[in-house]
Amino acid sequence: MSATLDFPVVSVPATARALLRDAREGLVDAVAEPEPAYRFAAAYLAALRAAAAMLALRGRPHRGRARPASVWTLLVSVAPEMREWAAFFASSSATRASVQAGLTRKVSVRAADDMVRQAGQFVDLVGRAMRGGRT
């Protein structure tokens, strides 16, 4: 997945800034979490909040009477350059749901650490998008 994307400079809504701040705080919590399954879930949630921030930044697409869609599907429609990230996190949704259901043995230390790393990169990418691509 590429972390080198250029974004247009846009006005950033307060909601988007707040969601990104929450995503960053969630990453801090994820790093501090000793239990791998909960570390995985916290990092996934941070990425979810960052995706929501991107939706708030770019605007949620009009869907009319369409069925509800995941944030990852919506992200691709407003930020197609993030398609690989959306696919990665969407593929991790079932694991996060398992953790929320109390099935924690499926998450290894490595899987949790990988999720923290990937979520961190994604949160940084969304932050750059909010700054208009400047690093």
**Does residue 4 belong to any structural domain of this protein?**
no
Q: Please give the Cα distance from 87 to 58 (Å, whole number).
A: 19
**Does residue 41 belong to any structural domain of this protein?**
yes
**Does residue 25 belong to any structural domain of this protein?**
yes
Q: Please give the Cα distance from 1 to 3 (Å, whole number).
A: 7
52: left (phi over 0), alpha (psi -120 to 50) or beta: alpha
Please, what is the Cα angle at 116 between 29 and 17, to 5 degrees?
Answer: 65
**Does residue 70 belong to any structural domain of this protein?**
no
Instruction: Provide the residue range defining the domain that includes 27.
Output: 21-59+83-130
Per-residue pLDDT of the chain (135 residues; tens, 9 = 90+): 555 555 554 578 899 999 999 999 999 999 999 999 999 999 999 999 999 999 999 876 665 666 667 899 999 988 999 999 999 999 999 899 889 888 888 899 999 999 999 999 999 999 999 888 543
pLDDT of res. 9 = 47
Please, what is the Cα angle at 84 between 14 and 26, to 5 degrees?
Answer: 45
pLDDT of res. 135 = 35
What are the residues whose beta carbons fall under 8 Å from the beta carbon of 93, sequence distance 6 or more?
A: 44, 70, 72
**Does residue 16 belong to any structural domain of this protein?**
no
**Does residue 11 belong to any structural domain of this protein?**
no
Q: How many separate domains does the chain show?
A: 1
